[in-house]
Amino acid sequence: MNKRPTLEAVAARAGVSRATASRVVNGQATVAPAIRDAVQQAIDDLGYVPNSAARSLVTQRTDSIALVVSEPPTRVFSEDPLFSTVIRTASVELESADKQVVLMLASSAKSHARVERYIAGGHVDGVMLISMHGADPLPAALSRLRVPVVSYGRPAVPVDIPYVDNDNVGGAELAVRHLVSTGRRRIATIAGPQDMIGGQDRLTGYRNVLRDSDRRSIVAVGDFTRESGATAMRQLLQDDPALDAVFVANDLMAVGALQSLRQAGRRVPDDVAVVGFDDIEAAKYTEPPLTTIRHPIFEQSATMVRLLLTLFDNGVAEPVILPTELVIRDSA
Amino acid sequence: MNKRPTLEAVAARAGVSRATASRVVNGQATVAPAIRDAVQQAIDDLGYVPNSAARSLVTQRTDSIALVVSEPPTRVFSEDPLFSTVIRTASVELESADKQVVLMLASSAKSHARVERYIAGGHVDGVMLISMHGADPLPAALSRLRVPVVSYGRPAVPVDIPYVDNDNVGGAELAVRHLVSTGRRRIATIAGPQDMIGGQDRLTGYRNVLRDSDRRSIVAVGDFTRESGATAMRQLLQDDPALDAVFVANDLMAVGALQSLRQAGRRVPDDVAVVGFDDIEAAKYTEPPLTTIRHPIFEQSATMVRLLLTLFDNGVAEPVILPTELVIRDSA
DNA sequence: TAAATCTGAGAGAGCGCTCTCTTGATGTTG
DNA sequence: CAACATCAAGAGAGCGCTCTCTCAGATTTA
């Protein structure tokens, strides 16, 4: 392990002072072209790369931000394609802003403490919080640390941090209104977990439309996994064998629901219409392909990054709600 | 932004020297209990958290490791559940070893350079490389930097870094042998991309068994996406309408293949048997549920982390190949 | 031409921590 | 009881960098 060259070495080789070498490295304009070239040459010769620890010790910046994924205790999200899409998109965006991404998982209370300690330790300049469940104390805790924080999805407890969310209520209304307008009478729903904002809001949207259209609500609750969707669908068929439509709060559960419907001998959409939510890639490949609600997930991630950068610059940033759209395929 | 307390402040409050306070923080045994308690009290009172930049400046360690995901230019992997599972599992494992995870995406040549520069900059103690495509120069480049590197999946070019992989050849053989033993005569395959080791090896396994069982090979190539699986299946049906089985190199493509078979009016498994590879969660929910090859993905990630930690301690570590297993469902 | 202004480069402090070296106090041995 | 080993705690150097302050020399102005 040959030692890495320091600024000192570069300066010596170029025959200038450390300060001047530093100026060149940081692109300051007050260096004569000839000297700049000499230093640059020395940098190239030596393969110099600034030591970030030393740099951030003095600048008090780290140029890295934490991506905190706060999962519910049930480890259900590893399969959710939204999870990786958000992480990837956010990473790409942050990298183009020259920020490093430190990924932190916060599931247990222990890891919660770890995350708080880490962030309090000043390792990162800001935090992007992907909080999955409502009772999460993390948004409030981080907000208290006076570190710039933005949230993916509206925080459940009202706390003053900017967030990006999609219009869950509006999207659910879109879905259910579609079922109503195609003449469905007995419209059930498989709701998401009620300790998640997304779960709550999508159920609210469902209820809004049913109320207005004078229909009875038929509700089962899942936890956003395929498995729970399958179970909930069986339950629903038992509760009301005559149901002719179901709005499922996410596509993953809809996949499970389709399976249960198939096993129960119901044809989709002839006997039962199904509408999902999210428009994941897999929705195109179900049997039949799934009618669903699309929300702009790439844009949502990108917006979150923009929000954080704005927060760095201005100290404030406004929440953003993105619109949803109905994608009609064969299931409804 | 009230300034964070320093070790100096802790020492002053406890009435000891900075050195002693440091000893307590780092849990050295040579401190008298009374003094230790006093320092601990001061730490708690002040809410002291060590400044990591200062610490790693002197220790030359960062306690963070880079998780470099080197994707092929086609951004196909965001949907692949393996992607997020590996990242999650590795993160959890590393966190329990008290290492931070810095996530880096290396898709373009530009980001390649970024990654190299970052790692050369000594920001991390080690690298876990998830390299997806064969022509990837990154394994060799990183290995040259004399930084501990482990790879998820065998590197395509022979380079001396430890890796964890599953037995791709053996798994494919398992799959195809199952098709042979259930009396299938015309066994096709949808291979993965041939610039990926996984794609190559699974095709090799297929060929091995066909050769031994005196059958003709019928090959189409996909890129591990659902879409490409659907396309390849259509191609295959056109090439040999009488085929009665297909081994698909991953489950995602198998999902696409099942859709194409359905659209072509073929019944699965009656007309055509289908075997996938990976055993992703979605494999249970296809119509019909997918027979596939399971490999221990959690264990694979965990092993990779263990390998890296071993590398830290001993300077060397041996590659590990994990076994695969046939999971029989309804599609074959 | 002397004084004032500007400009590029060096000197040196200091960011917060660890760790070696030193010192003084206590304990042990012949 | 002298000589030595043991141990806890302090002093201080230094990790590699940035940034302010200073100053020498070039340029402009009266």
Q: Cβ contact (<8 Å) for A105 and B92?
A: yes
Asked if residues A186 and A215 have their Cβ atoms less than 8 Å apart, the reply is: yes
User: Which range has highest mean pLDDT (A110-119, B60-69, B129-138, B241-250)?
Assistant: B241-250
Specify the residue for token string 């509700």.
Answer: A219
In the stretch 42-71 of chain A, residues with CB closer than 8 A to chain B read: 47, 49-54, 56-57, 62, 64, 67
A225 burial class (0-12, 13-18, 19+ CB within 10 angstroms)?
A: buried
Strand order of the β-sheet with A126-131 is A320-322, A163-166, A149-152, A126-131, A64-70, A100-106, B100-106, B64-70, B126-131, B149-152, B163-166, B320-322
DSSP designation for A195: T
- Give the 3-state secondary structure of A41-66: HHHHHHCCCCCHHHHHHHHCCCCEEE
Cβ-Cβ contacts under 8 Å for B196 (sequence gap 6 or more): B72, B132, B133, B134, B156, B224
Closest residue to C16 measured CA to C1′: B54
Read off the amino acid at residue A309. Answer: L
Touching check for A285 and chain B: CB below 8 Å?
A: yes
What are the helix (H) ranges across chain A? 7-14, 18-25, 33-46, 52-59, 81-96, 109-120, 138-144, 168-181, 197-212, 226-239, 251-263, 297-314
Q: Cβ contact (<8 Å) for A87 and B103?
A: yes
Nucleotide nearest to B21 (CA to C1'): D9
In the stretch 294-323 of chain A, residues with CB closer than 8 A to chain B read: none
The Cα B7–Cα B18 span in angstroms is 6
The Cα A312–Cα A126 span in angstroms is 8
In the stretch 165-224 of chain B, residues with CB closer than 8 A to chain A read: none
Nucleotide nearest to B59 (CA to C1'): C18
Cβ-Cβ contacts under 8 Å for A254 (sequence gap 6 or more): A190, A229, A248, A274, A275, A276, A277, A283, A286, A290, A292, A331
Beta strand ranges found along chain B (DSSP E)? 64-70, 100-106, 126-131, 149-152, 163-166, 187-191, 218-221, 245-248, 273-275, 292-294, 320-322, 325-327
Touching check for A282 and chain B: CB below 8 Å?
A: yes
**What pLDDT sits at residue A1?**
42
The Cα B71–Cα B153 span in angstroms is 13
**What pLDDT sits at residue B248?**
98
Q: What is the pTM of this model?
A: 0.86
Q: Which residue of B has its CA nearest to A112?
A: B95
pLDDT tens track for A48-107: 889 888 999 898 888 899 999 887 545 545 567 777 788 888 888 888 888 888 888 887
Touching check for A97 and chain B: CB below 8 Å?
A: no
Which structure tokens are listed for B91? 């993160």
Is the C-beta atom of B60 closer than 7 angstroms to strand C?
Answer: no
Closest residue to D16 measured CA to C1′: A54
**What pLDDT sits at residue A104?**
87
DSSP designation for B113: H
pLDDT tens track for A262-300: 999 999 999 999 999 999 989 999 999 999 999 998 899
Protein CA at A270 to nucleotide C1' at D20, angstroms: 78
Q: Which residue of B has its CA nearest to A111?
A: B95
Q: Cβ contact (<8 Å) for B95 and A105?
A: yes
pLDDT tens track for B78-119: 567 777 788 888 888 888 888 888 888 887 777 788 888 888
Residue A190's φ and ψ, nearest 5 degrees, are: -105, 105
**What pLDDT sits at residue A80?**
72
pLDDT tens track for B169-226: 999 999 999 999 999 999 999 999 998 888 999 999 999 999 999 999 999 999 888 9
Mean pLDDT computed over B302-313:
92
The Cα B149–Cα B312 span in angstroms is 10
Mean pLDDT of chain B: 89
pLDDT tens track for B261-285: 999 999 999 999 999 999 998 999 9
Evaluate if residue B314 carries a pLDDT over 60.
Answer: yes
Which structure tokens are listed for B124? 């991390």
Q: Is the peptide bond before A5 cis (omega within 30 degrees of 0)?
A: no
**What pLDDT sits at residue A77?**
52
Q: Cβ contact (<8 Å) for A103 and B56?
A: no
**Higher per-residue pLDDT: A87 or B235:** B235
Protein CA at B59 to nucleotide C1' at C17, angstroms: 9
CA nearest to B156, candidates B103, B189, B193, B101:
B193
**What pLDDT sits at residue B3?**
67
Over chain A (332 residues), the average pLDDT of each successive run of 10 is 77 89 86 87 89 89 89 58 82 87 83 83 88 78 86 85 94 97 96 90 97 94 93 97 96 96 95 96 93 93 93 90 97 93
Pick from B53, B102, B146: which is nearest to A102 by CB?
B102
Sequence-separated contacts (24+) of A9-14 with Cβ below 8 Å: A9/A46, A9/A48, A10/A39, A10/A42, A10/A43, A10/A46, A10/A48, A11/A39, A11/A42, A13/A42, A13/A45, A13/A46, A14/A38, A14/A39, A14/A41, A14/A42
Q: Which residue of A has its CA nearest to B252?
A: A282
Q: Cβ contact (<8 Å) for A102 and B103?
A: yes
DSSP designation for A167: -
The Cα B156–Cα B171 span in angstroms is 19
